[in-house]
Amino acid sequence: MLKQEEGSQAVAHAVAMCRPEVICAYPISPQTHIVEGLSDRVRRGDLSPCEFVSVESEFAAMSVAIGASAAGARAYTATASQGLLYMAEALYNASGLGLPIVMTVANRAIGAPINIWNDHSDSMSQRDSGWIQLYAESNQEALDLHVQAFKLAEELSLPVMVCVDGFILTHAFERVDLPAQEQVDAFLPAFEPRQMLDPADPVTIGAMVGPEAYFEVKYLMHAKQLDALDRIPRIASEFEEAFGRSSGGLVRGYRTEDAETIVVALGSVLGTIEDVVDELREQGVKIGALGIKCFRPYPLDEVRAALARAGRVIVLEKAWAIGVGGIVGQNVRLALSGLPVSVHDVIAGLGGRPITKRSLRALFADALADRLGPLSFLDLKRDVVERELERQTAGGRPGPHAENILKELGVVAARSH
Amino acid sequence: MPHQQIKFYQAGSFVAGNRLLPPEERSVQARMDRSNSLTSGHRACQGCGEALGARYVLDAAMRATEGKLIAANATGCLEVFSTPYPESSWRLPWIHSLFGNAPAVGTGVAAALRAKGREDVRVIAQGGDGGTVDIGFACLSGLFERGDDVLYVCYDNEAYMNTGVQRSGATPPAARTSTTKPVGPEPGNAFGQGKNVPLIAMAHEIPYVATATVAELRDLEYKVERAMEIRGPRYIHVFVPCPFGWGSASRDTIRLARLVKETGLFPVFEAVNGEVVGVSKIRRPVPVEEYLKLQRRYAHLFGDDPRDDVIARLQELADRNIRRFGLLTDAPESAGLPGHAGDAADAPPAGVEGESNLMRMLAETHRGAQ
Amino acid sequence: MSSKPFAITLDVGSSLANKTGSWRTERAVYVDRMPPCNHACPAGENIQGWLYEAEEGGDGYERAWRRLVEDNPFPAIMGRVCYHPCESACNRGQLDEAVGIHSVERFLGDEAIRRGWRLERAAEPSGKRVLVVGAGPSGLSAAYHLARLGHDVTIHESGPMAGGMMRFGIPRYRLPRDVLDAEVQRILDLGVRLELDKKVTDVESAMREGGFDAAFLAVGAHLSKRAYIPAGESAHVLDAVSLLRSMEEGEPPRLGRRVAVYGGGNTAMDVARTARRLGAEEAVVVYRRTRERMPAHDFEVEEAEEEGVLMRWLSTIKEAGDGRIVVERMQLDESGFPQPTGELEELEADSVVLALGQDTDLSLLDGVSGIEVEDGVVKVGPDMMTGHEGIFAGGDMVPDERTVTVGVGHGKRAARHIDGWLRAAPYDPGPRPELASFDMLNTWYYADAPRTEQPMLEAARRQGTFDEVVAGLDDANALFEARRCLSCGNCFSCDNCYGVCPDNAVLKLGEPGERYAIDLDYCKGCGICVAECPSGAIRMEPETI
């Protein structure tokens, strides 16, 4: 059913169609609309049987999901930003225990400074938590990925994080095709837990494991993630067969066939990039784009194959490893090791700073002119940081950068002390 | 000739079994078919009160639920000594997730069971004092507030034993721990109100709150059974001595649990919907020294440079409990405890014909006055 | 299981593979210690053992009685006349009050009489014949045990009735004669022959004539000790033995309005109380020392005083006659001996009864080789045999306390040794187990329960009657009293050890009474079971590795 729908509501619809039995929710923007939508369905009885648990923290949200999943229920939660960090310990636990929980991360920046707007700092910080990470490009894909995520999670007995750009997707109204219950039911089989807390067949879940076996447990998690690299494309094609549209998969190339320059990105920014790619293609520039749909497990071979013939790769990413550089960029370099490809990390869009076509045009022009270094910062206000850095060099007690910068920008009135 | 009523059974209900009682009125622990929810081969220290308390609680709950029970366990001694790969000492479905999330995991299990229409299966979440009063406290409060159908059991040994005896929010004043050593001007843990989770649980007005010790098995089993008759959040706080952390003899574990109640330092009571409905009276009153001097964690209060002043302050704490909960007298001084009902512990004597009435008496003991 | 996640998910109960018993440096061991009551019982009763049965009530009473009579054939008598040293030793006395063992014993004895419980001979006939001389407590006890051991027993009793001092020394208000008769008859029913009015004057010839293989002598001490008291012709001076004996045979003597009893033992009390019952308005006990030094038991003195018996301490009788006596006041010297003060006083007394102790008539041993006599009594070995092979002796005629219970104990011990001697397989009781002292108990576990006092015949009624003074317990009270037993040193199936082991290393072997075992695979040696055993029936022992 086609409908003009808010991204969050589209996700809520998809999740509801997957018949989760336990949903735990703690409010944090910009994820709130999703669980609000689910709460309505549970309260109205449209989603039943389902327990909607309003927990007291994200840590509890993930913990309730762990308990529910271990007891054999399909469990779902959603979070963002600080909330994801607050549940970090439980994320590792869920993946370590192999519990197929599905969670939406409405991507948002991490404080301090506190900031509610979109970037990928949150999910990137948990890239090694053992969860599968899928990144949605559009609201339709966000919706579709959730349906695929439950199937993937339960096949592998691993938790899956569906990353959806906060506000940009969650709060945007777009036309989406909402799947019907019968379609989802046909696609997603009932949850058959690999391990379960059951008085009829008691087991001990969550043993303490020492040096004699910990390593092997971790290796087995790795092996499962590698297994996912086969399953994700298969599930995406099964999805396409069932629903008639392509969504998900590991990577998706856009006009990369003869591209000398390829722009790599995750999530919704790909749409903007593709618009600029189209413009440049019209100008005869051999440029393309590569969307990484699944960042964990990392589809090393697929990325290498997609980029191997490009001489230049620009990695545009909404998070970074401070003190080093791009995170996705590092992974891309790993995929291209030994190949004569120059990789340029570009950090962009942090804390919700818009990534405009204009800026991208300028960026790509620089790249094509070989003016782009290995690490650059899109639309960073150089003058502001320069002045602040100068002030520090001048000595004295500079105080917090953030406040100084805000003062500089006139956002915070100067105060007398 | 006046008829002397039989109101006791040699060892009454103090011992685990007592052949003079009908089998069905003996404790769960006296039964050959008890579930041994925590079985042999676990790696708890010699004389571990927590191992004992956990088996007492879970066996009683297993019996009450006819084996339909799932346990969620916080990180801590109980978890570590019971489940080192590849051996588990548990004989019921059991999950360990994290240190601070056992209540929430319990909630999740309960939610799953509800969604699956398996509410005949009941849930216990459990942890030590660190996992309960400190790191797991938010999750515990959330569990209480939401009204989830979970019995939470805290095995309180008054410090972080698993990590080497560091102070917790449940460590009593003056006690030596690795982080409150008897050095400096105020040796041992500081005096303060501490964190009294049973009273905090009562403030949530949950259906059932009780305290117990491993020294009073029948009382503990009664409370677990009663808790399993109730739906919604329930909390039982069990005092479990730790020979390792307290520097006590392994054989003294139950003795210490007995003494802590008899001194008044640890009031044993139960509360329904936020109101105290029964207390376990002190049977043989003793000064706090009797309890303290058996433990090296209080050794700095005795010896060459005795701290009678500190002991007196601890005695004051005990005396306050005695007044507040009415542990000795029939009527408490109602020092701010909601709904306290006085002389619940004075069970009526039963006649010879009342031999089968012991459990009823026990129940009355706990029900107390309205 | 293979589909379950590796190392994350484990099989339940798999820790049984981990034998934590290897941690142990000490192990718990079940023991049976000697309860202080048993230890103190002159008759060697397994008091804790029969109380254990009695605690169950109902059928348990008969089991208790049968267990009791393995050591003592006189529960109904013992429950009345024994001075119960068991109760003085009882650990419960340190908790609240000693268990009223004697009253439960009496209850069981009375139940046995009321219900007609009978005894069987336990063993095959041995073909051996044993002569018992004297049908007092010791002789009857020996005869009883010997009969149960399979021997052919004949008692020669010089008097007209069986019972000895139980009949001729103990007043009927303390021991009704129907009770005595019933318990004696039960022994005779075992096939023991009793020949009355048959005085043995020469034991060796009696044995020869009767073809006896062994003899047990228990002739008692029936000769009253005399003291020289200058007495006028009109003085009425009697001895206690004669007086008490005359209560049983023939006409009781006339004692007059005022009776002085000279002596401070239990017999003196019996005489004074008997005098009151015979109508004396005043019975005064004259004793040369203080009450504290009096050999009579406290309760006897108390009961006598309640009945109006007067006591005159620190006094000796200097003279008697003409309805009066002269007493001299005494004073204790530094070593506690009474010394005369020369202060004299006259008291009215129509008669004087001497209760100064008794001597034994040992003439039947004249000329028997190997017999050693010292202080008027016959020396015996630990096996109760005299210096003459095959002749054993017990009761008041050997050096020991002179009580019914001691005599009964002698009889039992002698019987077991005679049996061993006859079978050429000496009886070895084995070493005595360690005493279960109070500090070995964990008294927390015992319910608080004050002693059940036996109802007493009101004092006013007592003076004119020989009715029994102390009434028995009824069923409920007996049960209550039995259940006050702490079972010192012996398992009473409370399941505590089974319950309190943090390692589930105590195995429960079955129904109550079938006891427990330590599972050494898992016992870490913490000692909680020992500390929490109410009765001190478990001990820690070092591991020897």
pLDDT along chain C (545 residues), means of 10: 78 96 96 97 96 93 97 96 95 93 96 93 89 97 97 96 92 94 96 96 95 96 85 82 85 87 92 90 93 89 91 91 89 90 91 91 93 94 96 96 95 98 94 95 87 75 79 85 94 95 96 93 97 97 87
CA angle C265, C268, C271 (to 5 degrees): 150
Bond before A113 cis per omega within 30 degrees = yes
**Who's near C234: CB < 8 A, 6+ residues apart?**
C321, C322, C323
Q: What is the pTM (predicted TM-score) of this model?
A: 0.89
CB contact B361 to A (< 8 Å):
no
Residues of C with Cβ-Cβ distance to B18 under 8 angstroms: 493-495
For C444, the enclosing helix (H) or strand (E) is none
- CATH class of the C129-223+359-422 domain in this structure: alpha beta
Full set of structural domains in chain B with CATH:
23-367 (3.40.50.970)
CA distance B325 to chain C (A): 22
Q: Cβ contact (<8 Å) for C17 and B41?
A: yes
For A140, the enclosing helix (H) or strand (E) is helix A139-156
- Backbone torsion region of residue A410, taken as left when φ is above 0, otherwise alpha when ψ lies between -120 and 50, otherwise beta: left
Segment B346-358 mean pLDDT:
34
Q: Cβ contact (<8 Å) for C485 and B10?
A: yes
Q: How far apart are CA A349 and CA C35, in angstroms?
A: 88
Q: How far apart are CA B156 and CA B325, in angstroms?
A: 20
Structure tokens at C32: 């049976």
DSSP secondary structure string, C66-135?
Answer: HHHTTT-S-HHHHHHH---HHHHH-GGGGTSS---HHHHHHHHHHHHHHHT------S-----EEEEE--
Q: Cβ contact (<8 Å) for C499 and B16?
A: yes
Q: What Cα–Cα distance (Å) separates residue C536 from each residue in B16, B325, C205, C489, C504?
A: 16, 34, 53, 5, 20
Hey, which residues 20-79 in chain B have their CB within 8 Å of chain C?
Answer: 20, 26-27, 29-30, 32, 36, 38-44, 46-49, 51-52, 55
Closest-CA residue of chain C to B352: C476
What is the residue whose two structure tokens read 């000594």? Answer: B81
Q: How far apart are CA A48 and CA A50, in angstroms?
A: 5
Q: Cβ contact (<8 Å) for B145 and A206?
A: no
Residues of A with Cβ-Cβ distance to C6 under 8 angstroms: 213, 216-217, 220
For A238, the enclosing helix (H) or strand (E) is helix A214-243
Q: Cβ contact (<8 Å) for C7 and A209?
A: yes
E strands, C371-462, in order: 373-374, 377-378, 391-393
Contact (Cβ atoms closer than 8 angstroms) between residue A302 and residue A250: yes
Q: Cβ contact (<8 Å) for C448 and B8?
A: yes
Q: How far apart are CA B328 and CA B342, in angstroms?
A: 10
E strands, C397-474, in order: none
Closest-CA residue of chain B to A60: B104
CA distance A209 to chain C (A): 7
Topology at the third CATH level for domain C234-356: FAD/NAD(P)-binding domain (3.50.50)
Q: How far apart are CA C102 and CA B141, in angstroms?
A: 61
Q: How far apart are CA A378 and CA A107, in angstroms?
A: 19
Contact (Cβ atoms closer than 8 angstroms) between residue C38 and residue C48: yes
CA distance A207 to chain C (A): 5
Which residues on adjacent β-strands are paired with residue B15? none
ipTM summary value: 0.94
Q: How many CB atoms lie within 10 A of CB B119?
A: 14
Instruction: Look at residue B177 and give its three-state secondary structure.
Output: strand
Structure tokens at B60: 């009683």
Q: How far apart are CA C186 and CA C116, in angstroms?
A: 9
Q: How far apart are CA C102 and CA B31, in angstroms?
A: 35
What is the residue whose two structure tokens read 């913490």? Answer: C526
Q: How far apart are CA B104 and CA A61, in angstroms?
A: 8
Q: How far apart are CA A181 and CA A172, in angstroms?
A: 24
Radius of gyration (Cα) for chain A, nearest Å?
22
Orientation of helix C177-188 relative to helix C101-115, angle to 10°: 70
Q: Cβ contact (<8 Å) for C4 and A202?
A: no
Q: Chain centroid to CA C192: how far?
A: 23
Q: How far apart are CA A140 and CA B77, in angstroms?
A: 48
Q: Cβ contact (<8 Å) for B19 and C513?
A: yes
Instruction: Look at residue A183 and give its three-state secondary structure.
Output: helix
Q: How far apart are CA B112 and CA B103, in angstroms?
A: 14
Residues of C with Cβ-Cβ distance to B6 under 8 angstroms: 476, 479-480, 483
E strands, A145-278, in order: 160-165, 173-177, 203-205, 251-254, 261-265
Residues of A with Cβ-Cβ distance to B95 under 8 angstroms: 66-67, 70, 197, 204-206
Q: Cβ contact (<8 Å) for A203 and C9?
A: yes
The per-residue pLDDT for C153 is 97
Contact (Cβ atoms closer than 8 angstroms) between residue C161 and residue C188: no
Q: Cβ contact (<8 Å) for C474 and B1?
A: yes
Residues of A with Cβ-Cβ distance to B70 under 8 angstroms: 71, 197, 199
Residues of C with Cβ-Cβ distance to B15 under 8 angstroms: 445, 494-496, 499, 534
Chains that touch A (3 or more CB pairs under 8 A): B, C
Q: What Cα–Cα distance (Å) separates residue C337 from each residue in C282, C334, C340?
A: 28, 7, 10
Q: How far apart are CA C366 and CA B273, in angstroms?
A: 91
Q: How far apart are CA C139 and CA C157, in angstroms?
A: 9
Mutation to test the C interface, candidates B14, B39, B40, most C Cβ within 10 Å = B40
Q: How far apart are CA C198 and CA B73, in angstroms?
A: 85
Contact (Cβ atoms closer than 8 angstroms) between residue B161 and residue B179: no
Structure tokens at C148: 């149960």
The phi and psi torsions of B2 (rounded to 5 degrees) equal -65, 145
Percent of chain B whose predicted confidence (pLDDT) is above 70: 85
Mutation to test the B interface, candidates A205, A209, A220, most B Cβ within 10 Å = A205
Q: Could you give the dihedral angle defined by the CA atoms of residues B131, B137, B143 and B145, in that order, rounded to the nearest 10 degrees?
A: 160
CB contact B109 to A (< 8 Å):
yes
C-alpha neighbours within 13 Å on the C-beta side of residue C113: 20
Q: Cβ contact (<8 Å) for C524 and B254?
A: no
For A401, the enclosing helix (H) or strand (E) is helix A401-408
CB contact B356 to C (< 8 Å):
no
Segment B274-299 mean pLDDT:
96
DSSP 8-state symbol, A191: P
Full set of structural domains in chain A with CATH:
2-196+205-243 (3.40.50.970), 251-377 (3.40.50.920), 381-417 (no CATH)
Same fold, C129-223+359-422 and C234-356: yes
Closest-CA residue of chain B to A203: B93
Residues of A with Cβ-Cβ distance to B116 under 8 angstroms: 21, 49, 71-73
Residues of C with Cβ-Cβ distance to B253 under 8 angstroms: 502, 526, 528
Q: How far apart are CA A127 and CA A295, in angstroms?
A: 8
- Backbone torsion region of residue A11, taken as left when φ is above 0, otherwise alpha when ψ lies between -120 and 50, otherwise beta: alpha
Dump pLDDT digits (tens) for B133-142: 999 999 999 9
Chains that touch C (3 or more CB pairs under 8 A): A, B
The per-residue pLDDT for C248 is 84
The phi and psi torsions of C111 (rounded to 5 degrees) equal -60, -40
Mutation to test the C interface, candidates B3, B6, B10, most C Cβ within 10 Å = B10
So where are chain C's domains? 14-32+491-542, 129-223+359-422, 234-356
Instruction: Give the closest residue to C414 by CA, choosing from C119, C31, C105, C153.
Output: C153
Q: How far apart are CA C259 and CA C276, in angstroms?
A: 9
The phi and psi torsions of A240 (rounded to 5 degrees) equal -60, -40
Confidence of residue B364 (pLDDT cuts 50, 70, 90): very low
Structure tokens at B33: 């078919």
Q: How many CB atoms lie within 10 A of CB C245?
A: 17
Mutation to test the C interface, candidates B5, B46, B157, B283, most C Cβ within 10 Å = B46
C-alpha neighbours within 13 Å on the C-beta side of residue C363: 6
Give the nearest partner residue to C531 out of B11, B40, B254, using CB atoms. Answer: B254
| Cβ-based contacts under 8 A for chains A and C | 43
Confidence of residue B285 (pLDDT cuts 50, 70, 90): very high
Contact (Cβ atoms closer than 8 angstroms) between residue C391 and residue C385: yes
CB contact C12 to A (< 8 Å):
yes
Mutation to test the B interface, candidates C475, C496, C535, most B Cβ within 10 Å = C496
Give the nearest partner residue to A194 out of C4, C11, C12, using CB atoms. Answer: C4
Dump pLDDT digits (tens) for A3-56: 999 999 999 999 999 999 999 999 999 999 999 999 999 999 999 999 999 999
What is the residue whose two structure tokens read 């964190």? Answer: B195
CB contact B297 to C (< 8 Å):
no
Instruction: Look at residue C39 and give its three-state secondary structure.
Output: helix
Q: How far apart are CA A47 and CA A44, in angstroms?
A: 8
Contact (Cβ atoms closer than 8 angstroms) between residue C526 and residue C483: no
Low-confidence ranges of chain A (pLDDT < 50): 413-417
Orientation of helix A32-44 relative to helix A7-17, angle to 10°: 50
Instruction: Give the closest residue to B117 by CA, choosing from A47, A198, A49, A196.
Output: A49
User: Is the CATH number 1.50.10.20 carried by domain C14-32+491-542?
Assistant: no
Give the nearest partner residue to B4 out of C477, C485, C500, using CB atoms. Answer: C477
Hey, which residues 183-242 in chain B have their CB within 8 Å of chain A?
Answer: none
Instruction: Give the closest residue to A64 by CA, choosing from C341, B146, C221.
Output: B146
Hey, which residues 192-251 in chain A have their CB within 8 Å of chain B?
Answer: 197-199, 202-210, 212-213
**Who's near A307: CB < 8 A, 6+ residues apart?**
A256, A262, A264, A290, A313, A332, A335, A336, A339, A341
Confidence of residue B368 (pLDDT cuts 50, 70, 90): very low
Residues of A with Cβ-Cβ distance to B94 under 8 angstroms: 197, 202-205
